[in-house]
């Protein structure tokens, strides 16, 4: 507690887009209640505190730290350790800190391939001197340092222990209020809990649902969907059947299939595997050829199933093979097909 008796609150962003910060501001006038109730000691996005201020604090003196963003480089990791040391309660705030989210898609490749594409091979890159970011650069004024980029993106709980998780990309204001309310009242759920709904997105989606039999998938630009019928039944990929609700099914209500940002429901080990099971049971076809024909209309299945959760999934990333001491990502390019002998 601060000398004014208010609990101390820290907010930090690691590898993130800034959307979670906007989600906090989406509390609108309630943000004033938060500012009244807490003594905000660190919030790089909105207030001028420095890392040195945190270092000067006693261990465990911050009551709650809302940490958003994935762990992508050594600076992210360092700040996660520092804030963990100074905080009593660590909250993985938003999908990046909880499951890896968009930064986690980098786990479909590796550091070197990514650097090559971004700084050399992408069609819009003009880099005649082949300049790449260096961790340390010597200049006349001294040494400049950039964070060192990791090969694999990790979630917050893969780096430091985490008490609570707040899912969503970004978390809806309603659930931030629930979390803040629980902290203020002291009525916190058991450590390790996800602060969120216990239903799926389908439960909250107002569209009419009947038996699902998918004969082909459509990408959003290929179809004008019926506004009242379940999107999945119309062949539009929707992750709502295996995704935690709480968002109010915002995406399906504007004709866009659920992306899966709230992650899996309670008790699910691997959200992507659950989606494979769910989608696999609603497609049509009883022969190898028919099934493959349906699946050919769903390009990039791993991207759909692990869009938000790759670093927190069971496999965590693309397989790495050792190439002269370096860990290199090695996906299989060829699309596997079912053996026609399975028809007999």
What is the binding site for other proteins (CB under 8 A)? 74-75, 77-78, 80-82, 108, 111, 135-136, 145, 148-152, 269-270, 272-274, 276-277, 279-281, 283, 285-286, 288, 291-292, 295, 300-303, 305-306, 313-320, 322, 326-327, 329-332, 334-336, 338-339, 342-344
- Shortest gap between Cβ of 161 and other proteins (angstroms)? 13
**CA nearest 316: which of 329, 326, 332?**
329
- Shortest gap between Cβ of 306 and other proteins (angstroms)? 8
H or E element, residue 242: none
- Helix 30-37 to helix 173-185 angle (10° resolution) is 30
Length of the chain: 344
Q: Under a CB-based contact definition with an 8 Å cutoff, are residues 84 and 71 in contact?
A: no
**Which class for 123: exposed (0-12), middle (13-18), buried (19 or more C-beta within 10 A)?**
exposed
The residue (of 131 and 342) whose beta carbon lies closer to other proteins is 342
The residue (of 49 and 150) whose beta carbon lies closer to other proteins is 150
The residue (of 248 and 285) whose beta carbon lies closer to other proteins is 285
The residue (of 80 and 249) whose beta carbon lies closer to other proteins is 80
The residue (of 223 and 302) whose beta carbon lies closer to other proteins is 302
Q: Under a CB-based contact definition with an 8 Å cutoff, are residues 61 and 136 in contact?
A: no
The residue (of 226 and 284) whose beta carbon lies closer to other proteins is 284
C-alpha to C-alpha distances, 199 to 117, 244, 249, 261, 275, nearest whole angstrom? 40, 6, 11, 14, 15
**Pairing state between β 142-145 and 164-166:** unpaired
**CA nearest 70: which of 110, 106, 39, 38?**
106
Q: Which two tokens stand for residue 240?
A: 């709502």
Q: Under a CB-based contact definition with an 8 Å cutoff, are residues 262 and 98 in contact?
A: no
Q: Please give the distance of CA 5 from its chain centroid, rounded to a whole number.
A: 35
- Shortest gap between Cβ of 180 and other proteins (angstroms)? 28
- Shortest gap between Cβ of 184 and other proteins (angstroms)? 30
H or E element, residue 318: none
3-state secondary structure of 274: helix
- Shortest gap between Cβ of 340 and other proteins (angstroms)? 12
Tell me the C-alpha distance between 167 and 186, whole Å.
21
Tell me the C-alpha distance between 300 and 319, whole Å.
17
- Shortest gap between Cβ of 87 and other proteins (angstroms)? 14
Tell me the C-alpha distance between 296 and 40, whole Å.
52
Whole-number CA gyration radius for the chain: 23
The residue (of 155 and 183) whose beta carbon lies closer to other proteins is 155
The residue (of 227 and 331) whose beta carbon lies closer to other proteins is 331
- Shortest gap between Cβ of 117 and other proteins (angstroms)? 17
- Shortest gap between Cβ of 59 and other proteins (angstroms)? 13
The residue (of 132 and 226) whose beta carbon lies closer to other proteins is 132
- Shortest gap between Cβ of 339 and other proteins (angstroms)? 8
């Amino acid at each position: 507690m601060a000398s004014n008796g208010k609990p101390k609150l820290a907010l930090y962003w690691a590898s993130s887009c800034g959307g979670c910060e906007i989600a906090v501001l989406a509390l609108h006038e309630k943000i004033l209640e938060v500012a009244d109730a807490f003594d905000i000691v660190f919030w790089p996005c909105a207030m001028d505190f420095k890392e040195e201020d945190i270092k000067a604090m006693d261990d465990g003196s911050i009551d709650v730290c809302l940490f958003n963003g994935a762990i992508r480089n050594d600076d992210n990791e360092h700040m996660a350790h520092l804030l963990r040391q100074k905080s009593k309660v660590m909250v993985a705030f938003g999908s990046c800190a909880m499951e890896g989210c968009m930064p986690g898609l980098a786990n479909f490749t590796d550091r070197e391939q990514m650097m090559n594409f971004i700084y050399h091979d992408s069609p819009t890159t003009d880099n005649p001197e082949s300049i790449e970011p260096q961790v340390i650069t010597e200049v006349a004024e001294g040494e400049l340092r950039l964070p060192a980029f990791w090969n694999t993106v990790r979630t917050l709980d893969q780096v430091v222990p985490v008490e609570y998780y707040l899912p969503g990309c970004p978390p809806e204001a309603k659930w931030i209020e629930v979390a803040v309310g629980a902290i203020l009242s002291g009525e916190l759920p058991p450590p390790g809990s996800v602060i969120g709904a216990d239903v799926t997105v389908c439960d909250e989606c107002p569209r009419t649902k009947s038996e699902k039999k998918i004969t082909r998938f459509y990408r959003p630009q290929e179809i004008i969907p019926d506004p009242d019928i379940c999107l999945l039944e119309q062949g539009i990929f929707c992750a709502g059947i295996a995704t935690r609700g709480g968002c109010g099914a915002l995406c399906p209500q504007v004709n866009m299939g659920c992306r899966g940002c709230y992650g899996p429901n309670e008790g699910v080990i691997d959200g992507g595997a659950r989606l494979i099971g769910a989608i696999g049971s609603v497609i049509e076809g009883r022969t190898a050829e028919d099934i493959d024909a349906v699946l050919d209309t769903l390009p990039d299945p791993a991207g759909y199933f692990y869009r938000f959760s790759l670093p927190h999934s069971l496999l965590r990333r693309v397989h790495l093979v050792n190439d002269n001491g370096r860990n290199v990502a090695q996906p299989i390019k060829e699309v596997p097909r079912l053996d026609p002998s399975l028809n007999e």
